[in-house]
A and B are shown apart, each in its own frame.
With several copies, the nearest count.
Chain A
Amino acid sequence: MWSYRMLVIVLNVLTGVGIGVGSYTFIYAKGGSYLTNDPAACANCHIMNEHYTAWIKSSHRSVAVCNDCHTPDGFLGKYMTKASNGFWHSFAFTTGRFHEPLQIKEHNREIAEQACRKCHQDIVIAIEGPHREIGELSCLPCHQSVGHF
């Protein structure tokens, strides 16, 4: 369901159906930086500056870049997320219609949660292992600041 909607959006962007403010920004503001792995590229949008500087101060600056936490595993998922976020964020940025301070949306939060497990599966296996049935443990309440201090 989710990926279907995203696919439509991606197609829109790529085929020019979505040309307009969104795409203009996407190009002007180097929205394409969504497609690279360089964190500095995210900061092309001044709106990402704070998160960038907060990442520089965090314990993870030398072990994880933005995309390690904010895109899911696997080629397709990764670029779908990037294209979708890239499009919507460009759109939001241009129209100015977004909540400040920025709030991560449920879907992107889930991606970040899973990202922790990409690297730390081993160490948390004991605390996670037996409990899957009654809901997963959430890392963020305790480790809110690992990516952004």
Chain B
Amino acid sequence: NIMERKQESRNPFYRVVELTDSIEDAELWGKNFPMQYDDYKRTVDQVRTRFGGSEAVPRTPTQADPRSIIAQSRLEEDPRLKIIWAGYAFARDFREDRGHAYMLEDQTYTERQIAVKQPGTCLHCHASIYVPYMRAGDGDLIKGFETMNQLPFFEARKLVTHPIACIDCHDPKTMQLRITRPAFIEGMRSLKASQGLHNYDVNSMATRQEMRVYVCGQCHVEYYFKGPEKRLTYPWHKGLVVDSILSYYDEQQFKDWIHAETGAEVLKVQHPEFELWNQGIHARSGVACADCHMPYKREGALKISDHHVQSPLLNINRACQTCHKWSEGELKARVETIQGRTFRLRNLAMDALIDLIHDLKRARETGASDNMLTKAKQYQRNAQFYLDFVEAENSTGFHAPEEAARILGESINFVRLGQVALRNDLNAAR
């Protein structure tokens, strides 16, 4: 009713609760901001799009894993993944990602936890962890981070309670966006340093539009655990493009695991949304994650940001149509054309990689020495990294269509070079 709306618009915030820097529970914040809170809670929804969203798959809860609904298994959808990740925890359990509401339980109960003993570091991106870090560090965020990284996962797990909550993105006093994740603060510092800008401090130096990206870039990025301290590190020291990242890992002589069938020292890429988005035309045009994944919506007399973070394809009119005057059907078709091309090339690249793995495996079985395989294994590492960069990225190429296709083309070329090197090295040894 009109009276109510006029009220709302004059005073959009009900100061019901005094928010402080130690209130984790979103429900309390929701007293002041009920509209944002209502949408935030809707991240439990599960709806599939052609390549995204997620499907609610029922399961029988067990003691070890009490979840009664999970997302579909990507390994079952495409068993080739088990071959390219052979010997790594991902070959055991890997599912489609779903809404933010599930992040803490999905991490806690994934079978990857059974396959490998994980460190507390994991929680950086799966829990409301700002307050626990501050607590563990006696008010020093970085210290808390360092402390919790080194705990075993299930120790650290006891220190957190919620999935991502308001406090992880907002300053409780001003409601401004802020960065709460140490690995992102440090990652941006090393990235900017590589561009000649030293001592970059993201919280004081980023623009508002940048913050609408960075709050997501805290987690939707490629990462690794550095050294025995298991410090969460974003590999951006030489830049954000795939080539720079691999070159950084090569310099660090880092590997995620040794491939079970070939012995190659390989890497697994995880969700490089921020990195790939950066190479795309939307980034170049200043369009932020929040513009598409948290578009404005009208509630009564107000416009607010939709805190139901989800696939924009489930919300095309708000997510795309203010900027693009095409019909919903047409916009969906445009996205799916892009995704279809990416998916096709991704499949070619995956078949290619599996060919190389088989070749290496056969060579080993027929007695080739490790020496003869060195080059080919190096190419397997590269091909896997490039393929995974697109495969693990969750927009199926949409965030940067040409770049995604370029990366897959390079991946196929690495396989080719690997197969040739293997043939030559085997022949030379004959």
Contact = CB atoms under 8 A, between A and B. Distances in A.
A126 B301 CA distance: 10
Contacts of B286: 141
Nearest to A140: B325
Given A100-B317, A134-B208, A141-B286, A123 B302 contact: yes
B203 to A, nearest CB: 10
A123 B208 contact: no
Nearest to A24: B2
Interface string A31-56: 00000000000000010000000000
Contacts of A138: 209
Interface in B1-45: 1-2, 5, 9-10, 12-13
Nearest to B295: A142
Nearest to B321: A101
Contacts of B174: 130, 133
B323 interface: yes
A142 B9 contact: no
Contact of A125 (B1, B302, B317): B302
Residue among A123, A143, A145 with the highest chain B CB neighbour number at 10 A: A123
Given A125-B9, A125-B12, A131-B177, 12 more contacts: A94-B2, A100-B298, A101-B321, A122-B301, A123-B301, A126-B303, A126-B304, A127-B303, A127-B304, A129-B175, A141-B285, A145-B325
Nearest to A120: B303
A133 B296 CA distance: 20
Q: Which 7 A-B pairs have the closest CB atoms?
A: A130-B175, A126-B12, A135-B208, A122-B9, A142-B322, A134-B208, A126-B302
A137 interface: yes
Contacts of A94: 1-2
B322 A123 contact: no
Nearest to B287: A141
B304 to A, nearest CB: 5
A28 interface: yes
A14 B286 CA distance: 43
19 contacts: A46-B5, A46-B9, A46-B301, A94-B1, A100-B298, A122-B9, A122-B301, A125-B302, A126-B303, A127-B296, A129-B13, A129-B175, A134-B177, A141-B286, A141-B323, A142-B296, A142-B323, A144-B325, A145-B325
A46 B317 CA distance: 19
A19 B172 CA distance: 48
Contacts of B304: 126-127
B60 interface: no
Interface string A95-138: 00001110100000000000000000011111101110111111
A25 B175 CA distance: 35
B302 A134 contact: no
Contacts of A123: 9, 298, 301-303
Given A134-B211, A141-B287, A101 B317 contact: yes
Contacts of A134: 176-177, 206-208, 211
Interface of A: 25, 28-29, 46, 93-94, 99-101, 103, 122-127, 129-131, 133-138, 141-145
Interface residues of B, number: 34
Contacts of A135: 207-209
Contacts of A25: 2
Contacts, number: 77
Contacts of A29: 2
Contact of B305 (A99, A127, A129, A133): A127
B264 to A, nearest CB: 45
A34 to B, nearest CB: 16
A103 B323 contact: no
B231 interface: no
Nearest to A141: B286
Interface string B301-343: 1111100000000000110011101000000000000000000
B291 interface: yes
Most chain A CB neighbours (cut-off 10 Å) among B12, B211, B318, B323: B12
A146 B303 CA distance: 17
Q: Which of A28, A124, A126, A138 has the most CB of B within 10 A?
A: A126
Contacts of B305: 127
Contacts of B1: 94
B301 A99 contact: no
Contacts of B297: 100
Contacts of B211: 134
Contact of A101 (B9, B291, B322): B322
Contacts of B207: 134-135
Contacts of A122: 9-10, 301
A142 B9 CA distance: 22
Contacts of A124: 303
A103 B321 contact: yes
Contacts of B298: 100, 123
Interface string B74-111: 00000000000000000000000000000000000000
